[in-house]
Amino acid sequence: MKTIDELLAEGVAGKRVFVRADLNVPLDGTTITDDGRIRAVLPTVAKLAEAGARVVVASHLGRPKGAPDPAFSLAPAAARLGELLGADVAFATDTVGESARATVAGLADGQVAVIENLRFNPGETSKDDAERGAFADQLAELADSYVGDGFGAVHRKHASVFDLPARLPHYAGYLIATEVGVLKKLTTDVQRPYAVVLGGAKVSDKLGVIDHLLERADRILIGGGMAYTFLKAQGHEVGSSLLQEDQIPAVQEYLRRAEEKGVEFVLPVDVVVAPAFPDLKTKAPAHPTTVAADAMPEGQMGLDNGPETNKLYASKLADAATVFWNGPMGVFEHPDFADGTRAVAQALVDSPAFSVVGGGDSAAAVRILGFDENAFGHISTGGGASLEYLEGKTLPGLAALED
């Protein structure tokens, strides 16, 4: 895999460099609520611009239906990128149309442009190779070389991620190089004890990585909505908590295998419950109570780890040498249910372990809850990509960057 440093050594002044970034930031209307992914690609874009390249930045945002949708415009991300660069960033109002061609043609050496959301074109996400290829052909006309730096999208077989690199000289940006280096530390020559913290809503989203980690981790800590399927699998009632009944047999099998292999599975011993899911807009009090994990009352919904669980999890992370964390422990967006996620983050800050925060909601939670990002070994920009890498899957976007 060639890197951006090799591209820079070849010379980029006056050349058009297409950077596939991940600017898929959360928006409240047109306000960016977490700019972490934009800041993550900044070193690559800035270095190319400083070297005199004409930089064309492209990304997806959200899940539009293959047609323009103002709610998913990249205009706010382009504006924020300009603020972070301290320079004007041009914005094309389409992907490969008249605006994109004119915007790229108007770039001077060292200038940066962002083209509109790639998913506004149905060719980006098409499962038809020919349709994706045709879109990639059009994108290739905008550039002389390609830099892949959108780690959050490398597990997608999309035109800009998989097909476009085959049409241009291609290189890995700084972010992707860093992400791959970090993930190798979680899969080869791992420093032990190796602890994994998995949260989030659904067990089904994590089945593959749990299966893979049963062969590698020393202990696995479970939280978030997925914990209630585990508790149910142990025979406990879970009230009105999120539950995937169809996953109970798989979970029971994982618990059996973990015991057989000596992998420690750690589940909540107490949980914070409320009668209903909280209002995340008004943050109105949700009237939470704390109950034992094996004594959840009917009509109550588990929404966070309890204080005893927080202490337990901190103790299980204190002596770890390597920690991977993906998924919040509760509904951290509401103050009544943020303590579990905060406790895990604090435990990682306090631990000497090499800690990796696995993207998505976990990365957002770290920032929203006010933690210093530098206190963690690495904060990934790609939750889904990180999980699939840890499952041992081939990621299309990484395969496309190999020569």
**Residues catalogued as catalytic:** 37, 202, 360, 384
Q: Residue 335 in 3-state DSSP?
A: helix
Name the DSSP letter for residue 120.
G
Integer-rounded Cα radius of gyration of the chain: 22
Q: Residue 106 in 3-state DSSP?
A: coil
Residues 172 and 353: their CA atoms lie apart, in Å, by: 28
Sign of CA dihedral 391, 123, 119, 107: positive
Judged on CB neighbours under 10 Å (0-12, 13-18, 19+), 120 is buried
- 187 neighbors 216 (Cβ within 8 angstroms): yes
Residues 119 and 73: their CA atoms lie apart, in Å, by: 10
Q: Which amino acid is at 80?
A: R
Q: Residue 292 in 3-state DSSP?
A: strand
Peptide bond into 352 cis (omega under 30): no
Token pair 């109550």 is found at 300
Q: Are strands 194-198 and 89-91 parallel, antiparallel or unpaired?
A: unpaired
- 220 neighbors 202 (Cβ within 8 angstroms): no
Name the DSSP letter for residue 161.
I
Q: Give the residue ranges of DSSP H helices in 234-338.
A: 248-261, 307-318
- 354 neighbors 322 (Cβ within 8 angstroms): yes
Residues 132 and 347: their CA atoms lie apart, in Å, by: 44
Token code pair at residue 133 = 């290829």
